[in-house]
């Protein structure tokens, strides 16, 4: 690709990084790319990083579309400017900052702290890496107006990111997210970023916040007597080289579990993730070392958390005693069923409680809420929307728990984001509860299907990288939106929800009503046979996601394999009918 083929705006932005106040290393790198790798110049400068469902996230490197000192600095300055406008009546704006185990996370966190402190803000910076949920907790505990955690969650090692939070401990939602970007875009150059830190405004925090956070985690326990009885439960845990390495084992110990086995090779925080292809607990390959240890000791439960310890993947024994990785919908169903059941048994359900799920998460959770006479809310993808509902309902209803299919769960409202630390402890407790009934979690899941119906879900992510990939994903969404299928897998499409246009169309009755949720680029197709297909471009990654949900009745445990195969075939047929890669 010739330099002359770089569009003028991209070339202008790139050449601006070879002059002025940029450090010499950055200038040299951009010049090298301009001479030798125009394609990388396009990918690095064709756009600015934007806040998606997970904040700022991208590949590390030079450029406006990359995570580096300058994009982090400009985003922070933009946020600082916005905070000054929104909290101009506050004597001292306070911000908490945490970071995970990724390469450059501590570096980016310190840059963030310096920019905020230079803007006269009180900064609370964690002394070392901490889980994302603890950052959310710290914002509330320290009465901050905002917070940042430097992480790229489960992305490959070349990525890093920057999650921004508001004063409720939840991630930024509209209008704040877009307004912060607008403030950052007003900055004409890096000379407007206040990089020189004022260390008198920076306070290092650590164990005191850990203690306060762990007090709240312990308070979520619902069956302490059962843990005492089953304290020997064999649990294998891996942090996947991330921030869960300290607090997850600690939470399990403080709940009372005494037989916890750590995958030591993955217990060392390391941004290169040397034992992994990808630090993503959704992927079976990430749990291979944990599975080996579990087989060695005949474990009852395997748990793995992602690098910033906000998501957890679990594996349990199936009916034949083989370990299987549960998907996020299954794990959420087990956890939320256990919690609702214990709240009912403990007399805590008064008719003023609620749970929250996202629109792409299993409808099984809605069925549970109805059975236990608990309100439920459907929200857009991203835990920031769950946090928003909790904020809206404060003082009116009590939040019990919430979850989404992408392995994120939250118990209690002391944290306002996914919390793998608390979730791990409660999942272990649910395992003890099932054992008391002579069952494993897999058998408990089958019991749940027998009560509510056998729901089965599958997710396909189609990756299309770079500028051309973004255009291809946009074209796919346009096709589904403007020319929707009339039938899928020989079942009529009876309802279409378009969250971007905020239209809910009943194709049988010919009626249309407004969707009250904020606009979002998501399409859902509901079929006559009860299937649901959701299509959504990722807000943080170069991919488009297809979520499939099918359902059949399950008369007995003996019918499980037969119905399971039937549901697998139905999903396969839907995927083939849509012409997607399975």
Edge-first strand order for the sheet with 301-305 is 260-262, 235-238, 301-305, 312-317, 323-325
- What is the phi/psi pair of residue 165, to 5°? -125, 155
Residue 373 clears pLDDT 90, i.e. is over it? yes
Sign of the CA dihedral with 431 first, then 432, 438, and 444 last: negative
Distance CA 68, CA 188 (A): 17
Q: What tokens does 181 get?
A: 């970007």
Burial tier of 2 (Cβ tally within 10 Å: 0-12, 13-18, 19+): exposed
Quick one: CATH architecture of 213-452?
3-Layer(aba) Sandwich (3.40)
3-state secondary structure of 561: helix
Determine the average pLDDT of the residues in 277-296.
Answer: 95
Q: How far is CA 287 from CA 71, 222, 297, 426, 442, in A?
A: 34, 28, 15, 20, 18
Distance CA 528, CA 208 (A): 55
Query: Is residue 532 very low, low, confident or very high in pLDDT (cuts 50, 70, 90)?
Result: very high
The secondary structure of 137-196, three-state, reads HHHHHCCCCEEEEECCCCCCCCEEEEEEECCCCCECCCCHHHHHHHHHHCCCCHHHCCCC
pLDDT tens per residue across span 441-453: 999 999 999 999 9
**pLDDT (0 to 100) of residue 174:** 87
Rounded to the nearest 5 degrees, what angle is found at the Cα of 574, between the Cα atoms of 569 and 578? Answer: 145
Q: How far is CA 160 from CA 94, 107, 280, in A?
A: 24, 11, 14
The secondary structure of 511-540, three-state, reads EEEECCCCCCCCEEEEECCCCEEEEEECCC
Q: Sort residue 169 into left (φ over 0), alpha (ψ -120 to 50) or beta.
A: left
Is 213-452's fold the same as 454-577's?
Answer: no
Q: What tokens does 348 get?
A: 């805590």
**pLDDT (0 to 100) of residue 517:** 95
Q: Which residues 6+ apart lie within 8 Å of 386 measured at CB?
A: 170, 356, 358, 379, 402, 404, 410, 416
Q: Which residues 6+ apart lie within 8 Å of 127 measured at CB?
A: 204, 205, 206
Query: Is residue 560 very low, low, confident or very high in pLDDT (cuts 50, 70, 90)?
Result: very high
Distance CA 149, CA 55 (A): 10
Residue 5 clears pLDDT 80, i.e. is over it? no
Omega within 30 of 0 (cis) for the link into 351: no
Distance CA 304, CA 317 (A): 15
**pLDDT (0 to 100) of residue 181:** 81
**pLDDT (0 to 100) of residue 2:** 56
CATH class of 454-577: alpha beta
pLDDT tens per residue across span 447-496: 999 999 999 999 999 998 887 888 889 999 999 999 999 999 999 999 99
**pLDDT (0 to 100) of residue 185:** 82
Alpha helices by DSSP H, 401-440:
420-436
Distance CA 475, CA 468 (A): 11
Q: How far is CA 503 from CA 37, 335, 490, 512, in A?
A: 44, 32, 24, 7
CATH homologous superfamily for 66-205?
Alpha-D-Glucose-1,6-Bisphosphate, subunit A, domain 3 (3.40.120.10)
Find out whether 562 and 552 touch, Cβ atoms under 8 Å: no
Q: What tokens does 171 get?
A: 């991630």
The answer to whether residue 146 is catalytic is no
Q: Comparing C-alpha atoms, which of 578, 341, 535, 513 is closest to residue 444?
A: 341
**pLDDT (0 to 100) of residue 539:** 67
- What is the phi/psi pair of residue 558, to 5°? -65, -25
- What is the phi/psi pair of residue 455, to 5°? -90, 135
Question: What letters, b where the CB count within 10 A reaches 16 and e where it falls short, cover 89-126?
Answer: eeeebbbbbbbbbbbbbbebbbbbbbbbbbbebbbbbb
pLDDT tens per residue across span 230-269: 999 999 999 999 999 999 999 999 999 999 999 999 999 9
Distance CA 28, CA 22 (A): 10
pLDDT tens per residue across span 200-237: 999 999 999 999 999 999 999 999 999 999 999 999 99
Q: Name the active-site residue from 136, 153, 239, 362.
A: 153
Determine the average pLDDT of the residues in 417-431.
Answer: 98
Sign of the CA dihedral with 360 first, then 364, 370, and 374 last: negative
**pLDDT (0 to 100) of residue 180:** 87
Alpha helices by DSSP H, 346-419:
364-371, 383-393
**pLDDT (0 to 100) of residue 51:** 64
**pLDDT (0 to 100) of residue 54:** 60
**pLDDT (0 to 100) of residue 188:** 78
**pLDDT (0 to 100) of residue 540:** 62
Distance CA 418, CA 412 (A): 11
Q: Could you state, in order of their start, the residue ranges of all structural domains in the chain?
A: 1-46, 66-205, 213-452, 454-577
Residue 16 clears pLDDT 90, i.e. is over it? yes
pLDDT tens per residue across span 90-115: 999 999 999 999 999 999 999 999 99
- What is the phi/psi pair of residue 355, to 5°? -125, 165
pLDDT tens per residue across span 377-416: 999 998 999 999 999 999 999 999 999 999 999 999 999 9
Find out whether 134 and 209 touch, Cβ atoms under 8 Å: yes
Distance CA 286, CA 40 (A): 30
Residue 280 clears pLDDT 80, i.e. is over it? yes
**Average pLDDT in the chain:** 95
């Amino acid at each position: 690709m010739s330099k002359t083929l770089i569009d003028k705006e991209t070339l202008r932005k790139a050449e601006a990084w070879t002059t002025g106040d940029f450090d010499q290393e950055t200038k040299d790198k951009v010049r090298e790319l301009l001479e030798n790798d125009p394609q990388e110049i396009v990918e690095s400068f064709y756009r600015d990083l934007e806040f998606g469902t997970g904040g700022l996230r991208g590949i590390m490197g030079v450029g406006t579309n990359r995570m580096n000192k300058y994009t982090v600095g400009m985003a922070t300055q933009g946020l600082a400017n916005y905070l000054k406008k929104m909290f101009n009546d506050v004597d001292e704006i306070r911000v908490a900052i945490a970071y995970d185990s990724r390469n450059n996370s501590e570096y980016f966190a310190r840059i963030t702290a310096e920019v905020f402190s230079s803007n006269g803000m009180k900064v609370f910076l964690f002394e070392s890496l901490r889980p994302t949920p603890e950052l959310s907790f710290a914002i509330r505990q320290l009465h901050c107006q905002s917070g940042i955690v430097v992480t790229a969650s489960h992305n490959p090692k070349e990525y890093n990111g920057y999650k921004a939070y508001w004063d409720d401990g939840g991630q930024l939602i509209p209008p704040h997210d877009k307004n912060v970007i607008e403030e950052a875009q007003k900055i004409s150059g890096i000379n407007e970023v206040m990089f020189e830190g004022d260390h008198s405004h920076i306070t290092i925090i650590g164990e005191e916040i850990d203690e306060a956070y762990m007090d709240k985690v312990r308070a979520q326990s619902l069956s302490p007597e059962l843990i005492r009885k089953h304290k020997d439960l064999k649990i294998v845990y891996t942090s996947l080289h991330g921030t869960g390495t300290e607090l997850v084992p600690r939470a399990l110990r403080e709940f009372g579990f005494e037989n916890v086995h750590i995958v030591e090779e993955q217990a060392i925080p390391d941004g290169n993730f040397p034992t992994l292809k990808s630090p993503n607990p959704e992927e079976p390959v990430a749990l291979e070392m944990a599975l080996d240890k579990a087989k060695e000791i005949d474990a009852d439960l395997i748990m793995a958390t992602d690098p910033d310890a906000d998501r957890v993947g679990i594996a349990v024994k199936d009916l034949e005693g083989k370990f299987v990785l549960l998907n996020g919908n299954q794990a959420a169903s087990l956890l939320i069923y256990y919690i609702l059941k214990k709240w009912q048994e403990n007399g805590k359900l008064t008719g003023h409680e609620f749970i929250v799920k996202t629109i792409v998460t299993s409808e099984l959770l809605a069925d549970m809420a109805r059975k236990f006479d608990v309100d439920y809310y459907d929200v857009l993808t991203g835990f920031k929307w769950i946090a928003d509902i909790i904020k809206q309902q404060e003082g009116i209803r009590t939040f019990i728990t919430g979850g989404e299919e992408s392995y994120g769960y939250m118990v209690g409202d002391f944290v306002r984001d996914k919390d793998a630390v608390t979730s791990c402890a409660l999942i272990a407790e649910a395992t003890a509860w099932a054992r008391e009934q002579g069952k494993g979690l897999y058998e408990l899941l089958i019991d749940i299907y027998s009560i509510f119906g056998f729901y089965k879900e599958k997710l396909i992510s189609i990756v299309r990288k770079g500028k051309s990939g973004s255009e291809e994903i946009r074209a796919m969404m346009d096709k589904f939106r403007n020319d929707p299928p009339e039938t899928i897998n020989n079942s009529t499409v009876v309802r279409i929800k378009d969250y971007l246009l905020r239209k809910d169309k009943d194709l049988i009755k010919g009626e249309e009503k407004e969707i009250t949720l904020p606009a979002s680029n998501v399409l859902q197709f509901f079929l006559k046979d009860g299937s649901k297909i959701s299509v959504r471009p990722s807000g943080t990654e170069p991919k488009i996601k297809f979520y499939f949900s099918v359902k059949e009745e399950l008369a007995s445990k003996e019918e499980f394999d037969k119905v399971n195969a039937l549901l697998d075939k139905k999903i396969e047929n839907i995927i083939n009918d849509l012409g997607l890669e399975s």
